[in-house]
Structure 1
Amino acid sequence: MAGHLARLDAPEVAARIFFPRPDPGDPAPPGSTDLEIPVVGGATLHARLHPGPDGGPVVLLFHGNGEIVADYDDAAGAYRALGARLLVVDYRGYGRSTGDPTPSHIVRDADAVLDFVRARFAGRPAPGVAGPEVTARPQGRPPIIILGRSLGSAPAIHLAATRGGELAGLILESGFARTLPLLRLVGVPVERLGLAEADGFDNREAMRRVTIPTLILHADQDTIIPLDDAHLNFEACAARDKKLMVVEGADHNSIMAYGGRQYWGAIGEFVGRLRERR
């Protein structure tokens, strides 16, 4: 499914796209569990599962560039208060994950991550996965909500577009619709390499295949991924149940802190509705 990204996988391009950061090695917060998810090629992805109410939705979060799972330890309590469990996963080369990140990998690996989550919460461990087993709940597998922030919008939209029947909903935070502006921003010589939008993640086109409930959050002062991208994704989204919330005065990296009650209120309302639909 990620074959169209081959030109971005070239080392001289991928090296400019990704900003991997090592994990300092601190232990997981009390009650949280560190996990290893095997992916194609022998690499493993580090993930962290934070506790929440039994049977509550699982929010599977693909984070932004330069971030790692530990950056979301403090946010886990807010999701727990909303009745959800938070599971954050690192890309290859980020945090404690092994391997090297490429555009194709972050999209393809998302399928392995979703397979892992579905297996884990069905009460059976995914093959080769390290971490405590979880027994099946009487009410069955909990709803899975995909959340993609910034770079993470690519794997999140991919899953929502191709495996929406296995998901309860999609949340995009500061997600991008177009790839070329981001490539130029990080110094990729787009024109010299002859790259076209079709060589990129093509999030906007994929959103035309998203039919599950969708919440899009974006800051109006975002200079990395402009608000226009949020509008493009919203307009392309094929879901009947969709909402765009703009956080005024915030930028790309302050949307959660600046949004405050507005930010968490929108997520809480969205998660609550999906929980009640079970």
Structure 2
Amino acid sequence: MAKSLVLLGLCLWLSGCAALLFHPMKKLVATPADAGVAYEDVWLADGDPRLHGWWLPAQGEARATVYFLHGNAENISTHMHSVLWLPEQGYNVFLLDYRGYGRSEGAPELPGVIEDVRRGYHWLRARGELPVVVLGQSIGGAVAGYAMATEADKPDALVLDAAVASFPRIAREVAQRQWLTWPFAGLAAALMPADYDLDAVIGQLAGVPQLYLHSPDDGVIPPGHTQTLYALAAEPKQRHSTHGPHIATFAFPAYRGVLLDFLETLALPVK
């Protein structure tokens, strides 16, 4: 009986590998106002499903807009602290929840989430002439990077923090972490969609300033993913090794400084 339950669990795990990419949470546990940051609700109703986000206006004259795409779990309310500091530095911020996350409608699946990223980007471009800097973390980096690499109207800069280079690759690596699933690592990789892998398209961002960040202490996405992406990326590009746990980068003032220096010296002046 126990053996049958284990086999059933493995079958369910393998059949649901693609679904394991996304772990949305509907409840918003906080807003930027709780941290003393002004914000506005944004609804993208130009397509299906309806998507929700937050607009954080820059304090004073805005230099650019940072378009923030979060990781695969929870929603913008639990990821917002990565970017709440940017308005004070003169940057607008737009945070978008993918379909099924937070107040956004629908259910997440990979092609749809990439389309959500594009919709948010087009909404930003339609707002005005300010430069748009796309910042993605973890799986948010993967979908943001893929959407921008395959977008005709490229962003003014791209920042990837612990981005996933390949979905089959991360599925294999996660399976290999547990003795029970290790023998099935190859099958887990085969069941994961490979049509939207960032490492296959990252070279299409030639001319777009790119910043790659990753901590060697990351226990979720191995730093090798960023090493691969950086090696494949065209110039201009920078890479910095950070520290701390997965996507905790901007909790450290030093790495906030790295981002600001990138924006002020490489990304924005070249446009």
- The verdict on a shared fold, with TM-score over 0.5 as the criterion, is yes
2:198 alignment partner, one of 166, 183, 203: 203
1:178 alignment partner, one of 156, 166, 171: 166
Matched, 1:256 2:250: yes
* Pairing of 1:79-158 with structure 2 (within 5 A): 79-119=86-126, 121-122=127-128, 141-158=129-146
1:19 alignment partner, one of 19, 23, 36: 23
Distance 1:104 1:73, change over 3 A: closer
For residues 84-130 of structure 1, give each alpha carbon's deviation from its aligned partner in whole angstroms, at most 9, with x where no partner exists.
111110111111111000011111222211111111x22xxxxxxxx
Gaps of at least 5 residues in structure 1 are 1-9, 123-140
Shift of 1:75: 4.3
For residues 60-91 of structure 1, give each alpha carbon's deviation from its aligned partner in whole angstroms, at most 9, with x where no partner exists.
01100113122344444421233211111011
The separation in 2 between residues aligned to 1:232 and 1:193, in whole angstroms, is: 21
Distance 1:98 1:18, change over 3 A: same
CA contact (8 A) 1:82 1:271 kept: no
The separation in 2 between residues aligned to 1:31 and 1:180, in whole angstroms, is: 40
SS class of match (2:28): coil
The separation in 2 between residues aligned to 1:11 and 1:142, in whole angstroms, is: 44
CA contact (8 A) 1:17 1:183 kept: no
Matched, 1:47 2:53: yes
Matched, 1:215 2:207: no
1:160 alignment partner, one of 148, 151, 172: 148
Q: Provide the residue aligned with 2:220 in structure 1.
A: 224
Distance 1:74 1:109, change over 3 A: closer
The separation in 2 between residues aligned to 1:154 and 1:97, in whole angstroms, is: 20
Percent identity between the two aligned chains: 22
Shift of 1:275: 3.5
The separation in 1 between residues aligned to 2:15 and 2:167, in whole angstroms, is: 17
The separation in 1 between residues aligned to 2:101 and 2:189, in whole angstroms, is: 29
Corresponding residue pairs, total: 245
- Pick the structure with greater CA Rg: 2
SS class of match (1:147): strand
- Name the aligned partner's letter for residue 97 of structure 1: S
The separation in 2 between residues aligned to 1:33 and 1:21, in whole angstroms, is: 20
SS class of match (2:258): helix
Q: Provide the residue aligned with 1:126 in structure 2.
A: none
RMSD over aligned CA atoms reads 2.7
Shift of 1:17: 1.8
TM-score, with length taken from structure 2 = 0.80
Distance 1:193 1:180, change over 3 A: closer
Gaps of at least 5 residues in structure 2 are 1-13, 176-180
Single out whichever of 158-167 and 180-189 deviates more from structure 2.
Answer: 180-189
SS class of match (1:115): helix
TM-score, with length taken from structure 1 = 0.78
- Name the aligned partner's letter for residue 246 of structure 1: S
For residues 188-211 of structure 1, give each alpha carbon's deviation from its aligned partner in whole angstroms, at most 9, with x where no partner exists.
966447727772531111111112
The separation in 1 between residues aligned to 2:56 and 2:190, in whole angstroms, is: 40
SS class of match (1:170): strand
